[in-house]
Chain A
Amino acid sequence: MNRLGRASVLAMLGIVTGSLLINGGYGAFVQQRMFLPLVAAAVVLVAFSGYEVYHAIQAEKTDAEAQWWSFGPTVGWLMVLPLVVLFAVAPSALGAAAANRVDAFNPIEQTEAFPALDTSAGPVEMRVFDFLDRALWDPDESLRDVPVRLEGLVVNDPDVPDGFLLTKFMVSCCAADGLPLQVAVRGVDQILEDDTWVVADVIWREPEIPYSEAGAVVIVDAEAISVTAQPNARKDPYESPY
């Protein structure tokens, strides 16, 4: 790897990272809190490559041999592979294909009390994680008969014939550690494709299974389902465990 080769690898990494940060595409791969570290990384990469290109040109003026010196191992070229895959496949955020591979994740029992819900302004907007947490672990059953608005993607499942599994992924670092959070929504009168993003107004009525049992599926009744932006247009498709 010569000096210009190294500089061009760094520049490509920096520029592609920068463009993913600007158009929001990074959200499909990493948690939102990685934004600033990635900005810093992109700036460093572009600055390094700029410095290197300048010095490569200067060095060649004084020594025609300079371009043949080694400035890094051949394996360094592999760093363009993620960029090649990114452009060739255009991978999307985790969806039904990923959810079907693993068991759904349920929040672990919390000992802290749940704050009261404000139901005065229509359906309560909640993260799927918080909803599951309350449904599974609140001894006072504060969710019972309360209209709740959830957002997530559709995963069709034979166990939920008249609805779907509303799914959102909990991602703490990157998509590779994503775990699906799922709520079974029943009583849906329309057929929705896998990976369709929906806003669902739902009501949790009866705890059909004991709420202390880990690994349980929370079942809710659909009130209203509306399709929202498609997954690739979304900037934050994941929930954070924090």
Chain B
Amino acid sequence: MSNDVSPGTESAATTAQADTTEACELHDHHEHEGHDHHHDHGHDHSDHGHGRARVRRPIDPIFLAILVVMVLLARGRIPFLANDTVRLWATLFVSISFQALPFLVLGVVISGLIAAYVSPDLVRRLVPKRTIFAVPSAGLAGLALPGCECGSVPIAGRLVATGTPPAAALTFLLAAPAINPVVMISTAVAFPNDRMMVVARFAASLTAAIAVGTWWARRQGENLLDSVSDLHEHHDSKLERFIDVASRDLVHAGGYLVVGALAAATLQLVVPRSILDTVASNEVLSVIVLALLAVLLSICSEADAFVAAGLPQFSLTSRLVFLVVGPVIDIKLVAMHAGVFGRAFAARFAPVTLIVAITAAVIAGQVLL
């Protein structure tokens, strides 16, 4: 397994492609081992004659049926579950998971189509050779995906597995949920008297995405493929491959989405909103607080403009920070990034993205608002 492939270069895509088959077989064990990129990759080869990792602890669907029966028996019999706060938490948790579902399904259908029908050769021809062109064009390609951030994570993972330079895929990952038409329209609706808000949000989000993409392209020796690569063989048809990859990406990204939804619903109830008013008067403090709030609340990028509009005590610049940070980095996304690209990646990517997004938003706010 080569961890020394340099992403963002032309040769990376070719080398990476050759690696994929080997990496993929260990994908599932990788999950159990906590995404350590440098983990021993050779411990399982004897085990699978079919090139697929075996499930360590297979869970039969019968357990699922038992779970359902137990849940139905528990209903209405545990006083804790009737508590007002618990019920509100349940509403928030279920609604975050539920509203993300169509975007997640759209995302994995696209990622399955890419895996089954888009050859690495085609990707290499479509993506500009040089990073200096590839990264900005990947950012602008984000305009074409009307959705929120949950759908773009599996797509970006699949793009990397198909040979797209990781820097370009990450730029797309950051830009798509922030600058797509639905998000721009909802921002315009939420800020009817501050039309420049739309322009500032677009400019700051795209700039931040390109800046992070460029930063990643300049890093040498990073390999995302350990985590994102997947099965390539043993599909009888393209349809089978499409459905297998889409389903696999769905349970993968979906599992981490649920982790994020758990955290976001809990934090929404824990963060006391009353303290917000006291910090709103200080410009620097309000930028920091709204950036943190964007991370903690994990609101869908199609809805965050209305939440920002509901915080009139804060300055326009600090609310712009809220709108630029939220779609690119929040609790829910960190969980998904860690799942799809690995924990080591998430640990580096999250702070850099947060700082770049805040900086871009503050500058755009000073210049445009």
Chain A interface residues toward B at CB < 8 A: 1-2, 4-10, 12-13, 17, 20, 26, 28-30, 34, 37-38, 40-41, 44-45, 48, 51-52, 55, 63, 65, 67-82, 84-94, 97-98, 101-103, 105, 108-111, 170, 172-177, 179, 214-215, 241-242
Contacts and interface: CB of A to CB of B under 8 A. Distances in A.
A103 B273 contact: yes
Interface string B286-306: 000000000001011011101
B199 interface: no
Contact of A29 (B57, B58, B95, B309): B95
A9 B254 CA distance: 11
Contacts of A103: 273
Interface stretch (B60-68, B122-130, B215-223, B350-358): B60-68
14 contacts: A4-B60, A5-B60, A6-B248, A28-B95, A44-B105, A71-B248, A76-B250, A82-B98, A91-B91, A97-B88, A98-B88, A108-B192, A172-B303, A174-B96
Interface in B289-337: 297, 299-300, 302-304, 306-307, 309-310, 312
Contacts of A77: 59, 255
Interface of B: 27-28, 31-32, 48-50, 52-55, 57-61, 64, 67-68, 71-72, 74-75, 78, 81, 84-88, 90-99, 101-106, 109, 148, 186, 189-193, 240, 243-244, 246-248, 250-252, 254-256, 258-259, 261-262, 264-265, 268-269, 273, 297, 299-300, 302-304, 306-307, 309-310, 312, 339
**Majority SS at the chain B contact face:** helix
A183 B59 CA distance: 52
Given A1-B251, A8-B61, A70-B52, A30 B75 contact: no
A52 B248 CA distance: 11
B71 A87 contact: yes
A54 B103 CA distance: 26
Most buried by A among B28, B98, B193, B261: B98
Most A C-beta atoms less than 10 A away, residue of B102, B248, B297? B102
Nearest to A4: B61
A93 B95 CA distance: 10
Given A177-B303, A179-B307, A79 B102 contact: no
Contact of B97 (A34, A68, A82): A82
Contact of B95 (A17, A30, A97): A30
Contacts of A38: 98, 101-102
Chain A CB within 10 Å — which of B104, B273, B303, B312 has the most?
B303
Contact of A44 (B28, B96, B109): B109
Contact of A89 (B52, B81, B262): B81
Contacts of B99: 29-30, 34, 173-174, 176
Given A10-B250, A12-B64, A174 B95 contact: yes
Given A29-B99, A92-B87, A111 B304 contact: no
Contact of B302 (A26, A94, A172): A172
Nearest to A17: B101
Contacts of B92: 175-176
A165 to B, nearest CB: 17
B95 A176 contact: yes
A10 B303 CA distance: 27
Contact of B255 (A69, A79, A91, A93): A79
Contacts of B27: 70, 73
A30 to B, nearest CB: 5
Contact of B55 (A1, A86, A108, A174): A1
A87 B81 CA distance: 11
A194 to B, nearest CB: 10
A97 B299 contact: no
A91 B95 CA distance: 10
A218 to B, nearest CB: 16
A70 B53 contact: yes
Nearest to B99: A174
A37 B81 contact: no
B254 A79 contact: yes
B192 A101 contact: no
Contacts of A65: 49-50
Nearest to A45: B105
A69 B50 CA distance: 9
A215 B280 CA distance: 15
Interface centre among B84, B97, B106 (most CB of A within 10 A): B97
Contacts of B300: 173-174, 177
B61 A91 contact: no
B53 to A, nearest CB: 5
Contacts of A177: 299-300, 303-304, 306-307
B90 A89 contact: yes
A75 B339 contact: yes
A29 to B, nearest CB: 4
Contacts of A52: 243, 247
B243 to A, nearest CB: 5
Given A48-B247, A78-B258, A177-B306, A55 B240 contact: yes
Contacts of B74: 88
